[in-house]
Amino acid sequence: MEEPRWLDAEELQTWYTLAGLLVRLPSALDAQLQRDAGISLFEYQTMASLSEAPERSMRMSHLAMLAEGSLPRMSQAVGRLEKRGWVRRTPDPTDGRFTLAILTEAGWEKVRETAPGHVEATRTYVFDPLTRAQARQLTEISRRILRAVDPESRCPGERPAID
Amino acid sequence: MEEPRWLDAEELQTWYTLAGLLVRLPSALDAQLQRDAGISLFEYQTMASLSEAPERSMRMSHLAMLAEGSLPRMSQAVGRLEKRGWVRRTPDPTDGRFTLAILTEAGWEKVRETAPGHVEATRTYVFDPLTRAQARQLTEISRRILRAVDPESRCPGERPAID
DNA sequence: GAACATGGCTTGCATGTTTAAGTAACGACG
DNA sequence: CGTCGTTACTTAAACATGCAAGCCATGTTC
């Protein structure tokens, strides 16, 4: 039962500001996509990931990892996208245990028309208000926190591009 | 229909890392609280806000704003906390339209015993991996993004301390 | 080649959140 | 005073999410 290492005033300041960011930035991006395209950020990221993948297809488990979501969540999300005609599913011919999610032509079109607005929002909210140097610092800061949260995770830049 | 201002490789890098942070940090803090205290981060923030308020009481709407949540969400959350005996509600004697949420003695005790673990987690995930200078930069960066997301919002340090 | 173990995905259930409708209290105007 | 409009909150229904159990295909062991 040791005396906890309380936060000082400056750290408290940082934490409150960061906490606000953690809530408001995702919600703002979600709102833009919901309003302009009728899809959630998670659904957009899912389709965007597929659009960058070879053959525009990917295994469910890989897709879930890329989008930082659980497998059941991804299963439901892809189910919704499938119902709207933007994705279809088929067993992996290589190994029937895997399921391939495939972006349809309509899905690719949807990503194409949704991307500009989303990128614009991201730029408006994140990059426009920061200097180049601050953006770089943000990368380094985020990497450090990510490593502290989950040491297993690969956070360096070896992830294939999505956006 | 103008050509969108796409993100360059460096910006993409920043965005992916930040996106990971936005998902994983809240979820890690939530997990710690759920595991060690059986409450969510939102519930903790609610009780912590009350514990710092005069009379350990606050109007629902003010509480919801402080915790960055909607009013219905706060209503449900306080309902759960009330059922567990940590909070009680009473109409504001000044104006019957407001409802005052009041932290009970048991609730105060709960915050007291939960706070050290939560602060420790916050320190481990956020402050330990950063230098003092980086923490300061993070404050400034978060403020700028918050201003871009919601210009109305008061993000400078004029908020009363909670944690 | 038949039983079993493994791993990937889906489904069902319990919980929490959002949106919208409903309730109650206050103030203003006639 | 009585009604109207506004404000603060709660409740109801639709929906999304995590967890645990089930299902199916594969590879292994004998």
Tell me: pLDDT of A151 over 90: no
Mean pLDDT of A32-52: 95
Interface test with A, best of B124, B126, B152, B153 (most A CBs within 10 A): B126
B156 pLDDT exceeds 60? no
In angstroms, the CA A37 to CA A30 distance is 10
Contact B17, A139 (CB under 8 A): yes
Pair A19, B68: CB distance under 8 Å: yes
Find residues 94-123 of chain B whose CB sits inside 8 Å of chain A.
115-116, 119-120, 122-123
Token pair for A8: 């000082």
Q: Cβ contact (<8 Å) for A17 and B119?
A: no
Tell me what pLDDT residue B44 has.
Answer: 96
pLDDT class of B154 with cuts at 50, 70, 90:
low
Residue A11: pLDDT over 60: yes
| pLDDT computed for residue A24 by the predictor | 94
Is the predicted pLDDT of residue A152 greater than 80, yes or no?
A: no
Per-residue pLDDT, A154: 62
Whether A144 has a pLDDT exceeding 80, the answer reads yes
Q: Which residues pair with A99 in a beta bridge?
A: A91
DSSP string, chain A: -PPP----HHHHHHHHHHHHHHHHHHHHHHHHHHHHHS--HHHHHHHHHHHHSGGGEEEHHHHHHHTT--HHHHHHHHHHHHHTTSEEEEE-SS-TTSEEEEE-HHHHHHHHHHHHHHHHHHIIIIITTS-HHHHHHHHHHHHHHHHHH-TTS--SS-SPP--
pLDDT for residue B153: 67
C-alpha–C-alpha distance, residues B77 and B57, integer Å: 15
| pLDDT tens-digit readout, B40-83 | 999 999 999 999 999 999 999 999 999 999 999 999 999 999 99
Domain boundaries, chain A: 38-148
pLDDT, tens only, A104-114: 999 999 999 99
Taking residue A151's Cβ as centre, other Cβ atoms within 10 Å add up to 7
Average pLDDT of the residues in A122-139:
97
Question: Contacts from B103-112 at CB under 8 Å and sequence distance 24+?
Answer: B103/B47, B103/B50, B103/B51, B103/B56, B103/B57, B107/B47, B107/B50, B107/B51, B107/B81, B108/B51, B108/B56, B110/B37, B110/B39, B110/B47, B110/B86, B111/B44, B111/B47, B111/B48, B111/B51
Is 80 exceeded by the pLDDT of residue B158? no
Q: Three-class SS of residue B92?
A: coil
Structure-model confidence comparison of residues A4 and A91, the more confident one: A91
Hey, are the CB atoms on A150 and B116 less than 8 Å from each other?
A: no
Q: Considering chain B, what is the average pLDDT of its residues?
A: 89
pLDDT score recorded for residue B117: 94
Architecture of domain A38-148: Orthogonal Bundle (1.10)
Tokens representing B159 are 């908020």
- pLDDT for the residue numbered A5: 87
- The mean pLDDT value for B122-149 works out to 96
CATH of B29-149, one of 3.40.50.300, 1.10.10.10, 2.40.110.10, 3.40.190.10: 1.10.10.10
Through-space separation of residue B97 CA and nucleotide C28 C1' in angstroms: 17
Whether the CB of A76 is below 8 Å from some CB of chain B: the reply is no
Measured distance between the N- and C-terminal CA atoms of chain B, rounded to whole angstroms: 47
Return the SS3 of B88: strand
Q: Is the pLDDT of residue B147 over 50?
A: yes
| Residue B134: predicted pLDDT | 97
Q: Residue B150 has what pLDDT?
A: 84
- Which stretch of A62-66, A128-132, B93-97 has the lowest confidence by average pLDDT? B93-97
**Separation in Å, CA of A98 to nearest CA in chain B:** 25
Nearest protein residue to D12's C1' (by CA)?
Answer: B72
Contact present, A22 and B25 (Cβ < 8 Å): yes
Q: For residues A97 and B34, give the distance between their C-alpha atoms in angstroms, rounded to a whole number.
A: 34
Counting beta carbons within 10 angstroms of the beta carbon of residue A12, is it exposed (0 to 12), middle (13 to 18) or buried (19 or more)?
Answer: middle
**CB spacing of B20 vs A68 below 8 angstroms:** yes
Instruction: Assign B100 to helix, strand or coil.
Output: strand
Per-residue confidence at B27, pLDDT binned at 50, 70, 90?
very high
Residues found in chain B: 163
The helix (H) or strand (E) run that includes residue B148 is helix B132-149
**A96 pLDDT tier (thresholds 50, 70, 90):** confident
Which residues are CB-contacts of B58 (< 8 A; sequence separation ≥ 6)?
B49, B50, B66, B100, B101
The answer, yes or no, to whether residue B116 has pLDDT greater than 70, is yes
Give me the mean pLDDT over the A30-40 stretch: 94
- Return the pLDDT at A35: 93
What percent of chain B clears pLDDT 90, i.e. is strictly above it?
A: 80
pLDDT class of B106 with cuts at 50, 70, 90: very high
